[in-house]
Structure 1
């Protein structure tokens, strides 16, 4: 009896190929929007064949979430104990840049893991942060409770959060240099030096539509947009679920309104911060201070806007993406004026590195808002940009 031709040609590493393809789809579309059919298509197999390797989408997602963490741990295990900071960060950078297409799973999507899988993933990343922190403290000893280590990893991990086209070698060099600068920055050294930031006042919900939006944002931030029901939103504002439709055509329109509100608040803050700056260096510091202040002040709104924009349909996503691009363009212009040796792609990638620093440093500080925390994170963002 002849062997099955399909079995004969089936690659031995098919499971690995499936996980790689799944990581890309989960990163691009988000956990809930991704389908097994899309993942199967990325490998060139049927969805039925996919289920021979993974019983369901969650099992595949959990495998993807573990994969990058395992790669980072393995890469650091190859670095000798006591190695220099540059060697430690080089190992992390190479793995992260090489697998940037699947790295988006970790910043926002890991919240969809169950508690056991999330704890296991957190322990692996904790090991990575610990190894980086050991190297940071050997080279630049400061009692910062892993803040610089987390921020340096945020600079490196930012490559997974945008689509700027940049060669792998150039990305390695750019992000490694950025992370090294972050590690060398004393977060406390610039106390009293950050500019005062005047953010727009927190919107007061004066209409039923505004009340619905204000109630929905913390739910989206906590549970993820796909997991929140109209019933939960309606209950939070004392309405029947059917009454929501008098104010929004659907739940996705509430999300679009949240993303646009986030973009509008940030744009207003930027306009105010750049009103009287005297040069590009001062402008970058003002932009960093504004973004950090906004991230601490509007943590839930910012996380929703960053994590959920990919879930918007194209017509609702377009104005949000345009607003985000305009914001990045302001940074890019000022950064290139301050550092004319950078080309547009390098500048854009560095701007995103600054955002990554703000996110991971803020998380390390548990988003506990204080003037000192804002100044510390601002200093780390400015360090990441090379100013």
Structure 2
């Protein structure tokens, strides 16, 4: 009796030649959605349709895979720019960057927030590659606009483009690319001269820094800078306890676990931002002025509470679903306030377009703030606010 062919024969014949690339793309999406420490090799393997053992034939460990994911988008952006003539118009420089970013939308968060988990050498190499990218855009900005602070404008424009990796608004690709290009071009053309920012931006007030008056509050205040500097997964209970002058076991009298401290930090960030928005929109009736006030409030909040902001943005995806839900709800409520005011000021925008631009504004704040090393000064807040307002199309 002749044996029938086994089911594995066709599978072997159709094994994809680009499996390693498929693994990196799938891993990037998992790392972006769940964070480096929460992601598992088994989950990544399942996303590609292979076993964990097969995955280890391509990458010896999770870190090696993570490092390649972190470099994927930045290397792709540089490769795209290498195809553009050195004297190309700014729009022709930005367009391929936008196309690559949109193509890798699901995995872009790896570079944005998770790169701090790279070792020093890998982080240095990635930073040098990104600096080359910013330098190329800066040259095009300088060539096209004879304006100061061209490096800040270039970084801010790239932040607006990169924002698409941080949210899931569904929108047609061509429409999305056009929105991001128009926003980026407005950003680099922003007038950053003193007095260019509307008066509404100067009237914002921020809630006072929380003063820790209980042991629980002291623990939270000590944990926040540690989480921001080293990442939640890296910080130990012992480090937190030492910062407060407690034995590690004493932490459990105030928080059931380290993740509960993280959730408390994220809730504090959401509450402070909501309080600041309510406070600064209270007497504003004009939609345009309201959007400017929102932009100035978010910028002031980002400069004043940099550690809290970075924790909330970077660590929420890795939280368990039941702990993440109230934080996501707070984020949605915040975006809804922006959307209502922006669409009143710009009736030409539909809800999806408005949300894309709002997130672009947030991305501008992140990269412009980093470029300014988060040095809090009135002129820095004014400049970043002006860049955000331009990204939104209200300058």
Q: Normalising by structure 2, what TM-score?
A: 0.96
Partner Cα separation in structure 2 for residue 66 and residue 363 of structure 1: 19
Structure 2 residue 321 is the aligned partner of structure 1 residue 314: yes
Which residue is equivalent to 1:327? 334
Give ranges in structure 1 of 5+ residues lacking alignment.
Answer: none
Partner Cα separation in structure 2 for residue 296 and residue 121 of structure 1: 25
Deviations along 1:158-184, whole A, 9 cap, x unmatched? Answer: 000011111111110111110010011
Structure 2 residue 100 is the aligned partner of structure 1 residue 95: yes
Partner Cα separation in structure 2 for residue 145 and residue 99 of structure 1: 26
**1:374 pairs with one of 377, 381, 386:** 381
Check conservation: 1:191, 1:372, Cα contact below 8 A. Answer: no
Which residue is equivalent to 1:215? 222
Which residue is equivalent to 2:87? 82
What displacement does 1:256 show? Answer: 0.6
**1:276 pairs with one of 259, 276, 283:** 283
1:105-254 → structure 2 map (5 Å cutoff): 105-144=110-149, 146-189=151-194, 190=196, 193=199, 194-254=201-261
Deviations along 1:107-160, whole A, 9 cap, x unmatched? Answer: 110000011111111111111101111111111122215000000000000000
Which residue is equivalent to 2:307? 300
Which residue is equivalent to 2:61? 56
Check conservation: 1:357, 1:380, Cα contact below 8 A. Answer: yes
Partner Cα separation in structure 1 for residue 236 and residue 193 of structure 2: 43
Check conservation: 2:198, 2:292, Cα contact below 8 A. Answer: no
Which residue is equivalent to 2:346? 339
Where 1:142 maps in the other structure, the secondary structure is: coil
Partner Cα separation in structure 1 for residue 172 and residue 43 of structure 2: 27
Q: Which moved more, 1:140-149 or 1:330-339?
A: 140-149
Check conservation: 2:33, 2:318, Cα contact below 8 A. Answer: no
Deviations along 1:248-271, whole A, 9 cap, x unmatched? Answer: 111111011000100010011101
Deviations along 1:314-339, whole A, 9 cap, x unmatched? Answer: 22211111111111100000000011
Give ranges in structure 2 of 5+ residues lacking alignment.
Answer: none
Deviations along 1:13-66, whole A, 9 cap, x unmatched? Answer: 111111111111111111111100111011100000000000000000111111
Partner Cα separation in structure 1 for residue 89 and residue 150 of structure 2: 19
Which residue is equivalent to 1:43? 48
Structure 2 residue 47 is the aligned partner of structure 1 residue 10: no
Which residue is equivalent to 1:290? 297
Structure 2 residue 286 is the aligned partner of structure 1 residue 258: no
What displacement does 1:195 show? Answer: 2.4
Partner Cα separation in structure 2 for residue 317 and residue 28 of structure 1: 13
Alpha-carbon RMSD: 1.4
Q: Which moved more, 1:333-342 or 1:136-145?
A: 136-145
Where 1:146 maps in the other structure, the secondary structure is: helix
Check conservation: 1:155, 1:353, Cα contact below 8 A. Answer: yes
What displacement does 1:210 show? Answer: 0.2
Where 2:57 maps in the other structure, the secondary structure is: coil
Partner Cα separation in structure 2 for residue 33 and residue 14 of structure 1: 23
Partner Cα separation in structure 2 for residue 242 and residue 92 of structure 1: 50
Check conservation: 1:292, 1:358, Cα contact below 8 A. Answer: yes
Partner Cα separation in structure 1 for residue 335 and residue 197 of structure 2: 26
Deviations along 1:201-250, whole A, 9 cap, x unmatched? Answer: 00000000000000000000001001111111011000111111110111
Which residue is equivalent to 2:372? 365
Check conservation: 2:299, 2:384, Cα contact below 8 A. Answer: yes
Partner Cα separation in structure 1 for residue 364 and residue 24 of structure 2: 28
Partner Cα separation in structure 2 for residue 319 and residue 150 of structure 1: 32
What displacement does 1:73 show? Answer: 0.3
Partner Cα separation in structure 1 for residue 268 and residue 319 of structure 2: 15
Partner Cα separation in structure 1 for residue 272 and residue 306 of structure 2: 12
Partner Cα separation in structure 2 for residue 293 and residue 76 of structure 1: 34
